[in-house]
C-alpha cells in the first residue's frame, strides 16, 4: 500500500455521501473462520459440499448438523476482527451507511454494526419446517452442539437455520435493501469477497452503473479489479492502519 493510495482511500471515504461495504468470507478468516473456496477452504474437506444442500437437509437434517457443529454452532467463541471493528466505528461516525454481507457468522453485529444486510441469510433464527415457529440461535445451538438435531418446541418438527442453502431463494427483503444501497452508493468497499456467487456478486456492478466508485480489498483477483478506483490485497494491513491512525476522529 503506497502513501498515495492510502491518502486516496481516506479522501474517497471522507468525501463520500453514501458509502457502503460489501463483505465476504475473507473478512471472517481474520477472526479464525475458514472460508469456503480458498486453498484451505471448507469445500476442500470431505462431504462439506453437502452442508448447505437444501434437498439433502430435508431428507436428512443430521448431515447438516453434524458438518456445521463447529462451523456454525461454535460461533459464540469467535470474536470480531479489525475489519468488523473499523466498519462498526465508521457507521457510528456517519461515514458508512450500511454493511452488505455474504457472511453468516453474525460478527458484524457482534462488533456493533447496526445496519447489516445479510444477503445469504443468517443463523440468528431457526424455523420449523412443519409449523414455521422461529427459535433464536442460542436455543438451537445448545442442541446442535450436543450433536443432536434441534426440534421445534411447539410441534416437534425439524428446525432449519434461516441461512440460504443451495436450492433456496435468497431472502427477498435483504436482497431488495442490498440493491437499493448498492445503487445509491457513491463509494462501495468490496472486502474479502471473491465475487463469484451470484446474484450477490452483481451488487458492485450496480454501484458502477450509477456512477459510484469501488475500492476492492481481497487477497485473490476478482472480476471487479479492472473497474476499481483502488485495489489492495491485504485486508489486515489496510484496516490495522485505519484502526491505529483513526484518520476520521
Q: Which residues are known to be catalytic?
A: 120
C-beta neighbour count of 116 within 10 angstroms: 22
Given a contact cutoff of 8 angstroms between Cβ atoms, the answer to whether 55 and 223 are in contact is no
Given a contact cutoff of 8 angstroms between Cβ atoms, the answer to whether 131 and 154 are in contact is yes
Cell digits of residue 44: 476442500
Sign of the Cα torsion 39, 45, 51, 55 reads positive
Given a contact cutoff of 8 angstroms between Cβ atoms, the answer to whether 25 and 36 are in contact is yes
Measured CA to CA, the distance from residue 157 to residue 161 in angstroms comes to 13
Measured CA to CA, the distance from residue 97 to residue 101 in angstroms comes to 13
Amino acid at each position: 500500500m503506497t502513501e498515495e493510495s492510502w491518502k486516496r482511500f481516506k479522501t474517497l471515504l471522507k468525501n463520500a455521501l453514501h458509502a457502503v461495504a460489501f463483505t465476504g468470507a475473507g473478512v471472517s478468516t481474520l477472526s479464525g473462520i475458514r472460508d469456503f473456496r480458498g486453498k484451505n477452504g471448507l469445500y476442500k474437506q470431505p462431504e462439506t459440499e453437502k452442508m448447505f444442500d437444501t434437498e439433502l437437509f430435508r431428507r436428512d437434517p443430521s448431515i447438516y448438523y453434524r458438518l456445521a457443529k463447529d462451523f456454525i454452532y461454535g460461533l459464540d467463541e469467535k470474536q470480531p476482527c479489525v475489519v468488523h471493528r473499523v466498519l462498526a466505528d465508521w457507521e457510528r461516525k456517519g461515514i458508512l451507511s450500511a454493511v452488505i454481507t455474504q457472511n453468516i457468522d453474525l460478527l458484524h453485529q457482534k462488533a456493533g454494526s447496526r445496519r447489516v444486510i445479510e444477503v445469504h441469510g443468517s443463523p440468528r433464527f431457526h424455523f420449523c419446517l412443519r409449523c414455521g415457529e422461529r427459535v433464536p440461535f442460542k436455543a438451537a445451538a445448545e442442541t446442535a452442539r450436543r450433536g443432536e438435531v434441534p426440534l421445534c418446541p411447539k410441534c416437534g418438527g425439524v428446525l432449519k437455520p434461516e441461512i440460504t442453502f443451495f436450492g433456496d431463494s435468497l431472502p427477498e427483503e435483504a436482497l431488495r435493501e442490498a440493491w437499493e444501497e448498492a445503487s445509491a452508493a457513491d463509494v462501495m468497499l468490496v472486502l474479502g469477497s471473491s465475487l463469484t456467487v451470484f446474484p450477490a456478486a452483481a451488487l458492485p456492478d450496480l454501484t458502477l452503473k450509477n456512477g459510484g466508485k469501488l475500492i476492492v480489498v481481497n487477497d485473490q483477483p476478482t472480476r471487479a479489479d479492472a473497474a476499481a478506483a483502488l485495489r489492495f490485497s491485504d485486508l489486515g494491513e489496510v484496516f490495522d492502519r485505519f484502526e491505529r491512525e483513526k484518520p476520521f476522529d
